[in-house]
Amino acid sequence: MFLLKKAVLFAIALLMLAVAGCSTPAPRTVTEIITATTVQTTVETVVPVTINISAGSSLTAALNEVNKAYTTLKPWVTLITNYGGSGTLQTQIEQGAPCDVFISAAAAQMDNLQNANLLLAGSRTNLLTNKVVLIVPKANSLGLTSFNDLTSSKVKLIAIGDPKSVPAGSYANTAFTELGILAAIQSKFILGANVTQVLQYVDSGNVDAGVVYSTDALSDNNVTVVATGPADVNASIIYPGAIIKASKAATAAQDYINFLGSAQAKAIFVKYGFATAG
């Protein structure tokens, strides 16, 4: 009997060992599973988007470089720029021209759009500052050294942006009024459709002097800065940016505006002579 019991126990032990060998391994912990699994890199799915930007012409060179930096980071974004006098751009937006982001060279045009309820609430921000300066052709021999010298009979033609649509022209008029010389020189004005055109008039020597932003003068080796506008006038020069309420790409437009305030974009603007607001 003893031997029979021993045989039975031995058989049971062998059976248990066989079952253990064929059974499914005990479940692993979450940590073990993650460790044993090959991690797959997830590629972000992006949708191509186009952002239409209307900006003051004085921003052309700087913003072109900023936009290149932005699209290098986000190649699925297409940026379409429309440069011109801020007043002209305001009118285009009011008339329904495609525009997602507006960057004005003055607060007045942005104020007008805001008062007309055409801006996306909360999207407006001050981006940059600038200065107006008096420039002459590099070969000019009239010896001008100040705004007051514009009253001289030697000065025949003065280029400024049309004050009705070009902020730089409006600032020029304010400076002339403050200095008490507007009435004496107004008949000499040649009005440009934007500040870039004013710069070209002076660069070509077709006028004796002109008023542009310091950033414009910095970009042209054929002109010389002879005077800076009154400090209080220059202190009022602000470039605000905002998203247009009718934009179909408001999320992308906000990301773009955020980039304009980044360290990378600010460094580019400063390189072109702008100062950052705030």
Provide the pLDDT for residue 139.
Answer: 85
pLDDT of residue 46: 83
In single-letter form, the type of residue at position 243 comes to I
Assign domain 132-235 one CATH number from 3.40.190.10, 3.30.1490.20, 3.40.50.150, 3.90.1150.10. Answer: 3.40.190.10
What would the DSSP string read from start to end of 22-46?
A: HSPPPPPPHHHHHHHSPPPPPPPP-
Report the CATH fold assignment for 49-129+238-276: D-Maltodextrin-Binding Protein; domain 2 (3.40.190)
| Contact yes or no for 260/124 (Cβ under 8 A) | no
Query: Model's pTM, two decimal places?
Result: 0.79
Digit-coded pLDDT (tens) for 119-152: 999 999 999 999 999 999 998 889 999 999 999 9
Alpha-carbon torsion 62, 164, 183, 178, what sign?
negative
pLDDT band at 271 (very low <50, low <70, confident <90, very high): very high
Beta-ladder partners of 102: 54, 242
Which tens digit of pLDDT belongs to each residue from 146-174? Answer: 999 999 999 999 999 999 999 999 999 99
Residue ranges of domains in the chain: 49-129+238-276, 132-235
Which pairing describes strands 209-213 and 158-161: parallel, antiparallel, or unpaired? parallel
The model's confidence at residue 246, banded by pLDDT at 50, 70 and 90, is: very high
pLDDT digits (tens, 9 = 90+) for 7-63: 444 444 443 444 444 444 445 554 444 444 444 434 456 899 999 999 999 999 999
Mean pLDDT, the chain, whole residue set = 88
- Confidence (pLDDT) at 45: 65
49-129+238-276 with 132-235: one CATH topology? yes
The per-residue pLDDT for 140 is 82
Pairing, β 125-129 against β 209-213: unpaired
Q: For residues 139 and 114, give the distance between their C-alpha atoms in angstroms, rounded to a whole number.
A: 44
